[in-house]
Amino acid sequence: MLEAGLALLPVNVNSNLEAAWKYHNTTKHSVASVLNNRHFLDWDNRPLPFKAYTALEPLALPREVRQTGVAALSAIAESIRTDSSAIPDVEALAQLLYLTAGFTRHRKYPGGDIHFRAAACTGALYEVELYVVCGDLVDLEAGVYHFSPAEFALRRLRAGDYRSVLSEATAGETSIIHAPLTIICTCIYWRNAWKYQARTYRHFGWDNGTLLANLLAVATALGMPAKLICGFVDADVNRLLEVDPDREVAFSLVALGHFAALAQQLPSDLSAIHLESVPLSRNETVYPAMHEIHAASSLRSPEEVETWRGNAPVNELPPPTKPIVPLHPYSDAEMPRDPIEQVILRRGSARKFAQVPIGLPQFSTMLDRATRGVPADFRDKQGTQLNDVYLIVHAVEGLDPGAYVYHRDRDVLECLKTGNFRAQAGHLGLDQQLPADAAADIFFLADLQMILERFGNRGYRAVQLEAGILSGKLYLGAYAQHVSATGLTFYDDDVIRFFSPHAHGKSVSMLVAIGMNAKSPL
């Protein structure tokens, strides 16, 4: 219903930036907005945490996790060049899916069981679903598949090679054309909005992003080129997956692998397939603000996609004017080499930090490795980012406690102010203890106006997604060194005030706290 209404919107809806600003401003947290929010969690109406099709047979995936032996700190920092031409096998696909969205831990709570997954997710609500669109792989026939983490299985929604639908929907994006397989991430509104209401649309970017950090790292470890695609004709991808776009929408695509021969351009029969799935809850609440920003950031033709991608705005911090401190990452020889598979399985959000310091090389290494760039269609130069990195340092050996901004191009921190800001950090992170006790709090801030001017409302998706990926890489960069981490939410304007005047005019995308776990040494 809502997506059909898109046809009535003016052609340049993506460039009407009021939509993104309206959504952003009305979903900011402030002390007053949190105090006045009467929302409560209706446990009896809690959404199902995974999508369950009623009729399709599951196709079990191989469960053995291959040990690539590739160091997590390399896997998060590098990507594979597109000169390989191997067709992935089903084991590699299973590995990618498991380490991206598989069940990794299980805990019983009075309200029921929670299956924790490979990547962090707001409220452990797991609103991101994964689909695979592939040609013939080794031991897997061409098709469109849904991944079920509960059964660790695929369900085939369409038989045959539908990659040409994605080539068209992405206006011939090169990585998609040459990809033996593409993973599509969709987001389900109600599954997360049950708790977070309209702010869930931001969570789409963050939670999809942490999951993509794993996916990109595992692809690198498997020697597979991978590229994140944010620009596509929304309605065409949703139709391919036969999702109900009032409830579930395609949010990002990752082209995986590279095969020199072009994908077969078969005529794509996109007849409706009417797939039933179990309702998530007894009833669902619609938060129109999210549907409005989604519609306003949708791209509606390959031509629009083509003009949308690339040519990211130049995002350079002004040269430092305050004292600078050089970072000291480990050399390649000194770098901890814990493999990516182990680090992903070890990861879990810190629930309590000990107020003890971490080393400067550890800290420098995670910052350096996590921010080396994301291969994406909204970035034309590897290493450049939409988000800037601001930090509150509490306990890092060799650094004065204080507020900093990271100049990646110079590998230095610029000190904006010194002091013990534990209490302020606790407040900024929504009055929680975690950011107060951490060794450091890392904020991603972006010049939203500049990004929206270049990418339209779709830039809002890209900037949240990138912040989620960088945060996911930070998680992995921390756990690779036996340091702990957690994503956190925040009081938007208070964060900007804290880092101003330097951060004047920017908006907060995400926050990650890192430090030593108080409960168990990792």
Ligand X SMILES: Cc1cc2nc3c(=O)[nH]c(=O)nc-3n(C[C@H](O)[C@H](O)[C@H](O)COP(=O)(O)O)c2cc1C
**Binding residues vs ligand X (CB under 6 A):** 116, 120-124, 206-207, 210, 348-349, 430, 432, 434, 486-489, 510
Closest CA to 387 of 337, 301, 459, 315: 315
Shortest distance (Å) from residue 121 CB to ligand X: 5
Shortest distance (Å) from residue 490 CB to ligand X: 8
The number of C-alpha atoms within 13 Å of 475 and in the hemisphere containing its C-beta is 33
Shortest distance (Å) from residue 89 CB to ligand X: 28
Shortest distance (Å) from residue 434 CB to ligand X: 6
Closest CA to 67 of 459, 373, 343: 343
Ramachandran angles phi, psi of 145, nearest 5°: -125, 150
Give the β-pairing of 402-407 and 387-393: antiparallel
Whole-number Å distance between alpha carbons of 331 and 107: 39
Q: Which is nearer to ligand X, 364 or 471 (CB)?
A: 471
Closest CA to 355 of 419, 424, 436, 426: 436
Whole-number Å distance between alpha carbons of 241 and 215: 20
Residues in the chain: 522
Q: Which is nearer to ligand X, 165 or 434 (CB)?
A: 434
Q: Which is nearer to ligand X, 236 or 466 (CB)?
A: 466
Strands (E), 208-346: 226-229, 248-256, 324-326
Shortest distance (Å) from residue 156 CB to ligand X: 29
Shortest distance (Å) from residue 341 CB to ligand X: 16
Shortest distance (Å) from residue 105 CB to ligand X: 7
Q: Which residues contact 246 (CB under 8 A, 6 or more apart)?
A: 1, 2, 3, 286, 291
Shortest distance (Å) from residue 512 CB to ligand X: 8
State the greatest distance between any 2 C-alpha atoms of the chain, in Å, as a whole number: 64
Q: DSSP 3-state assignment of 486?
A: strand
Q: Which is nearer to ligand X, 229 or 488 (CB)?
A: 488
Whole-number Å distance between alpha carbons of 99 and 465: 19
Shortest distance (Å) from residue 49 CB to ligand X: 11
C-beta of residue 104 within 8 angstroms of C-beta of residue 63 = no
Shortest distance (Å) from residue 432 CB to ligand X: 6
Q: Which is nearer to ligand X, 123 or 320 (CB)?
A: 123
Shortest distance (Å) from residue 489 CB to ligand X: 4
Q: Which is nearer to ligand X, 434 or 465 (CB)?
A: 434
Alpha helices in 47-171 (DSSP H): 72-75, 90-101, 163-169
Pseudo-torsion of CA 412, 418, 423, 425, nearest 10°? -20
Q: Which is nearer to ligand X, 201 or 206 (CB)?
A: 206
* Burial of 192 from C-beta contacts in 10 A (0-12 / 13-18 / 19+): buried
Q: Which is nearer to ligand X, 206 or 455 (CB)?
A: 206
Pseudo-torsion of CA 297, 302, 306, 308, nearest 10°? -10
Whole-number Å distance between alpha carbons of 25 and 204: 17
Q: Which is nearer to ligand X, 349 or 507 (CB)?
A: 349
C-beta of residue 398 within 8 angstroms of C-beta of residue 412 = no
Shortest distance (Å) from residue 479 CB to ligand X: 11
Q: Which is nearer to ligand X, 127 or 304 (CB)?
A: 127
Whole-number Å distance between alpha carbons of 391 and 442: 5
Q: DSSP 3-state assignment of 403?
A: strand
Q: Which is nearer to ligand X, 295 or 434 (CB)?
A: 434
Nearest residue to ligand X, using CB?
Answer: 487
Closest CA to 436 of 421, 457, 415: 421
Q: Which is nearer to ligand X, 74 or 489 (CB)?
A: 489
Ramachandran angles phi, psi of 416, nearest 5°: -85, -35
Q: Which helix (H) or strand (E) holds 188?
A: strand 181-188
